[in-house]
Amino acid sequence: MMVWTQPWLKSTKLTEFHCDEMAANENHVHRLPENSIGGHKPADVAGYQVKHAADFVINYLNSQSNDLYSLELFQIVNATQQV
């Protein structure tokens, strides 16, 4: 999944979501080197922003579903943030 968070605007949007493992492992985003402006760097999977983004996606997907069972977050494996 890819979540665009703008805390200064109090805005969070789901921009990309893949359900299968193969799609999740593919690199869909052009990555710049970590030390460049706009590059990606690892994010703490236990950090507030990562947990907030994951909770947002789960709540959003559950609100869009008409399923008898709701989704539940099991584990955050990896996270990056754009700098």
pLDDT at 43 over 50: yes
CA–CA dist 7, 35 (Å, integer): 23
* Residue boundaries of the structural domains of the chain: 2-82
Convert the pLDDT of each residue in 57-80 to its tens digit: 889 889 988 888 888 888 888 888
Of 3, 5, 55, nearest in space to 29 by CA: 3
Mean pLDDT across the chain, nearest whole number? 78
pLDDT at 40 over 60: yes
Q: List helix spans (H) across the chain.
A: 21-25, 48-64
